[in-house]
């Protein structure tokens, strides 16, 4: 078994791209096959090395390793040989219409209530008429001649899937400047590189009918096909206009754990719950196309953030230490265990590190209460048990209880009205800083 993920290095990978990559990767890893990364860089004007390197970095960050790499810009001779074969066998024919000619034909068809299908006028041209166009300087584009038959396959996701090629225009495979459109190189690569299964979005269903015929024209067996529903936003609207703001590097820069991204994108639109998944092995074991629904999959970046927070809440110190160092917030294991349950994102840890290190501007509404509490801070090193004894002493001295007791102490010691449990935090702050803050000092 071999699948392929074929991004174009013309922009950053976004969540829609990654979902396609992930579907392919989970499927082929479950069945012990190979994952091909094919760089579709035939658009020379827009393809860049920077975007290509970004593809490698994003996939590596997500843990989506690949077994083979191919680059379409290195394979022009193979595509040309396939094109020559299709021309010789009568499957590709030259067309001389301009864009204006084709637009005019489409408008006429629509005005008559007909679908704007190409009328194959080029097949009726005589040798003299073609020679006249050539003499004018026109260069032909080349269309693939569809059979008009009904093509049916058993889709991995959708079940039996028919496509009527008679209701389609013969697709253009080669532009007038001689460059190839996406379809021909893609099919030739799938044949030449041994791709056995194509897994992609359902927007390619109709294209599959024409592609099956190109496979057959090249004497190849079409790969198995699977088409899953596309992503929509949480509001049900298409993501196409907002997809740029959902790039993989944005999530990485936000400090999101890649496991959160994988867990959400693997599970949305399926019967499995969106929840913390600690390893890719778990996602591989649970992956099944039978679980994929037919409705569009709703993507909400808040689901990613929620799962990311849940991962943080259970993360061991050793697994995050390097990240804490990078954030200048590594205050040891006791600190991490004290604050992790209150993190919405890893970046939040910086604020709690500031609480421990200082300076903190105390929030004191009742100076007399705070002064009494300051005098009751125990001497010497504080421990996890020191907080309860301290609170009990303040309660006895002031008569305060409940929120009236705990909130003024939290606000004075941390400058915040919420946060981690105060027992461990009190020990980390230490007696000297605790006493000073209760006296109103910004330390």
The reported pLDDT for the residue numbered 245 is 59
Domains along the chain? 317-357 (no CATH), 367-438 (1.10.10.350)
pLDDT of residue 345: 93
Task: Determine the pLDDT at residue 77.
Answer: 96
Residue 73 DSSP code: G
- Backbone φ, ψ for residue 386 (5° rounding): -60, -35
pLDDT at 17: 93
Q: Which residue, chain included where needed, has tokens 């461990």?
A: 424
* β-bridge pairing 150-155 and 141-144: unpaired
Note the pLDDT of residue 44: 83
What is the pLDDT, as a whole number, of residue 48?
Answer: 94
What does the pLDDT read at residue 42?
85
- The string of pLDDT tens digits covering residues 390-437 is 999 999 999 999 999 999 999 999 999 999 999 999 999 999 999 999
Per-residue pLDDT of the chain (443 residues; tens, 9 = 90+): 999 999 999 999 999 999 999 999 999 999 999 999 999 998 888 999 999 999 999 999 999 999 999 999 999 999 999 999 999 999 999 999 999 999 999 899 899 888 899 999 999 999 999 999 999 999 999 999 999 999 999 999 999 999 999 999 999 999 999 999 999 999 999 999 999 999 999 999 999 999 999 999 999 999 999 999 999 888 777 765 555 558 899 999 888 999 999 999 999 999 999 999 999 999 999 999 999 999 999 999 999 999 999 999 999 999 999 999 999 999 999 999 999 999 999 999 999 999 999 999 999 999 999 999 999 999 989 998 999 999 999 999 999 999 999 999 999 999 999 999 999 999 999 999 999 999 999 99
**b/e for 341-375, b at 16 or more Cβ within 10 A?**
ebbeebebbebbbebbebebebbbeeeebbebbbe
- Alpha-carbon distance of 350 to 437, in angstroms, equals 20
Please count the CA atoms within 13 angstroms of the CA of 206 that sit on its side-chain side: 7
Q: What is the DSSP string of 199-227?
A: EEEGGGHHHHHHHHHHHHHTT-PPPEEEE
C-alpha separations of 125 from 94, 121, 131, 289, 365 in Å: 10, 7, 10, 48, 91
The pTM score is 0.89
Please tell me the predicted confidence (pLDDT) of residue 242: 53
Alpha-carbon span 134 to 128, nearest angstrom: 10
> How buried is residue 171: exposed, middle or buried, by Cβ count under 10 Å (0-12/13-18/19+)?
buried
The predicted pLDDT at position 243 comes to 53
9-55 residue pLDDT tens:
999 999 999 999 999 999 999 999 999 999 999 888 899 999 999 99
Please tell me the distance from the alpha carbon of residue 390 to that of residue 394, in angstroms, as a whole number: 6
Where helices occur in 66-98 by DSSP H, the ranges are 76-88
Q: State the pLDDT at residue 422.
A: 97
């Amino acid at each position: 078994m071999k699948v392929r993920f074929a991004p174009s290095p013309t922009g950053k990978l976004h969540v829609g791209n990654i979902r396609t990559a992930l579907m392919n990767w989970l499927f082929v890893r479950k069945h012990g096959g190979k994952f091909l990364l094919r760089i579709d860089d035939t658009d020379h004007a827009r393809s860049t090395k920077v975007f290509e390197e970004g593809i490698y970095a994003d996939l590596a960050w997500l843990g989506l390793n690949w077994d083979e790499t191919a680059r379409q810009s290195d394979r022009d001779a193979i595509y040309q040989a396939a094109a020559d074969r299709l021309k010789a066998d009568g499957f590709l024919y030259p067309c001389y219409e301009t864009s204006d000619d084709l637009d005019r034909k489409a408008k006429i068809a629509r005005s008559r209530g007909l679908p704007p299908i190409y009328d194959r006028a080029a097949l009726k041209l005589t040798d003299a008429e073609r020679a006249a166009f050539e003499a004018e300087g026109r260069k032909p584009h080349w269309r693939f001649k569809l059979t008009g038959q009904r093509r049916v396959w058993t889709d991995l996701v959708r079940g039996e899937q028919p496509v009527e090629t008679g209701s389609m225009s013969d697709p253009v495979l080669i532009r007038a400047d001689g460059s190839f459109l996406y379809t021909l190189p893609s099919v030739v690569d799938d044949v030449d590189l041994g791709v056995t299964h194509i897994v992609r979005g359902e927007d390619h269903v109709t294209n599959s009918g024409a592609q099956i015929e190109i496979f057959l024209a090249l004497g190849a067996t079409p790969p198995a096909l699977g088409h899953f529903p596309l992503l929509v936003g949480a509001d049900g609207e298409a993501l196409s206009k907002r997809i740029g703001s959902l790039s993989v590097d944005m999530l990485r820069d936000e400090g999101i754990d890649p496991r959160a991204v994988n867990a959400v994108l693997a599970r949305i639109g399926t019967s499995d719950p969106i929840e913390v998944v600690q390893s890719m092995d778990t996602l591989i074991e649970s992956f099944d196309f039978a679980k994929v629904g037919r409705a569009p999959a709703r993507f909400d970046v808040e689901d990613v953030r929620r799962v990311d927070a849940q991962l943080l809440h259970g993360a061991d110190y050793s697994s995050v230490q390097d990240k804490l160092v990078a954030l200048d917030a590594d205050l040891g294991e006791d600190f991490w265990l004290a604050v992790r349950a209150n993190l919405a994102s890893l970046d939040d840890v910086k604020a709690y590190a500031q609480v421990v290190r200082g300076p903190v501007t105390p929030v004191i509404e009742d100076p007399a209460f705070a002064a009494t509490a300051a005098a009751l801070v125990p001497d010497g090193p504080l421990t996890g048990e020191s907080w309860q004894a301290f609170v009990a002493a303040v309660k006895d001295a002031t008569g305060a209880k409940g929120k009236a007791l705990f909130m003024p102490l939290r606000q004075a010691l941390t400058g915040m009205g919420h946060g981690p449990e105060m027992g461990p935090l009190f020990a980390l702050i230490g007696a000297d800083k605790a006493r000073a803050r209760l006296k109103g000092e910004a330390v």
